[in-house]
Amino acid sequence: MPMRRPVFRIQSLNAQNEEAFFSLARELFPRARIHLLDSDRVWLAYSGGEAAGFVHLRALPHSFYLQGIGVRPVWRRHGIGRRLLARAMAQAAQTGSPGGLILKVRAGNSEALAFYRSCGFMVERVSLSSWRLRWRSPN
């Protein structure tokens, strides 16, 4: 019998789940300094009552910047990151952002680069320390 994918839901950041977001972000990125601006958009993925992952977008004048995306190791390779990224891409498309969605990947992180490229991102710039990628809505 084939394994079933876990059921999870995506929820926008609100006062009730803000601490879950910060806790998860600190767990996944312990050296990062996470702060939110009023214009930021954050979504959390839940399986049962557990926060399994998040995506954090920052609105820029003509685009959105992917501040961070993370999934707990136990939940990786279940489609959660792809669904969270699709939610971020939908936000950029819905707002008609001409610059789309941009992000940076640390040089050498070929797994992340392959993931973003499989989701439609194009490499825009390469430096010694990072790759810059962009996705634009086809509409």
**pLDDT for residue 2 is more than 60:** no
110 falls within a domain: no
- 18-77 residue pLDDT tens: 999 999 999 999 898 888 888 899 999 998 889 999 999 999 999 999 999 999 999 898
pLDDT for the residue numbered 6: 67
Q: Which residue has the higher pLDDT, 68 or 139?
A: 68
The domain that contains 52 carries what CATH number? 3.40.630.30
Q: How many domains does the chain have?
A: 1
Is 91 a member of any domain? yes
Question: Measured on CA atoms in the order 28, 71, 24, 5, is the torsion positive or negative?
Answer: negative
* Structural domain containing residue 87: 9-98
For residue 5, the model assigns a pLDDT of 62
Question: What's the mean per-residue pLDDT of the chain?
Answer: 90
pLDDT of residue 35: 85
Is 136 inside a domain boundary?
no
Residue 18's contacts (CB-CB under 8 Å, 6 or more residues apart) are: none
Within a domain: residue 123?
A: no
Residue 74 lies in a domain: yes
Q: What is the mean pLDDT of residues 106-133?
A: 93
82 assigned to some structural domain: yes
* CA 119 to chain CA centroid, nearest Å: 12
